[in-house]
């Protein structure tokens, strides 16, 4: 059984140096790279592994929520390419220095970041919430989980 690595918090300006230092210690393969949006903070996280052993390191960097950007690591870790493209598309994080940013999963030019807590998901807005009773006024009408009041349409 492999042990979950401790999370190493890194400053944005130390991201590339920390990732390449992990590679120098033997963790030179990107297992996965993604982002985490906690509503208060936005993080980019990478899990680097040593393919010859069970060693791994997990690096995390907090980004500016208003303008999330960080240096790309694809020059040092070619396996990070797809992960950075997906994270850019789903969370809106700009990976600086990338040569390719075309869409993987969404329509090109859509501009939304569907995995961000601030994104209004249209399907949640249109689909009736199964726990909602009729709008006869007998019960206070509640919004479905994950839907903010400002996203609703007045009907």
Residues 6+ apart with CB under 8 A from 144: 124, 127, 129, 132
Residues 6+ apart with CB under 8 A from 6: 58
8-44 confidence digits (pLDDT tens)? 999 999 999 999 999 999 999 999 999 999 989 999 9
Domains in the chain, please, with CATH? 1-132 (3.30.460.80)
Distance of alpha carbon 9 from alpha carbon 59, whole angstroms = 6
pTM: 0.76
Residues 6+ apart with CB under 8 A from 52: 26
Mean pLDDT for the chain overall: 84
């Amino acid at each position: 059984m492999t042990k979950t690595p401790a999370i190493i918090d890194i400053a944005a300006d130390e991201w590339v140096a920390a990732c390449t230092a992990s590679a120098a210690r033997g963790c030179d393969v990107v297992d996965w790279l993604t982002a985490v949006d906690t509503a208060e903070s936005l993080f980019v996280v990478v899990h680097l592994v040593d393919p010859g052993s069970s060693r791994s390191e997990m690096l995390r960097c907090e980004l500016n929520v208003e303008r999330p950007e960080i240096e790309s690591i694809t020059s040092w870790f070619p396996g990070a390419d797809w992960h950075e493209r997906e994270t850019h598309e789903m969370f809106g994080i700009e990976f600086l220095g990338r040569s390719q940013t075309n869409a993987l999963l969404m329509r090109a030019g859509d501009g939304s970041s569907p995995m961000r807590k601030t994104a209004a998901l249209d399907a949640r807005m249109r689909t009736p919430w199964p726990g909602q009773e009729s709008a006869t006024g007998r019960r206070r009408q509640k919004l479905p989980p994950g839907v903010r009041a400002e996203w609703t349409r007045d009907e």
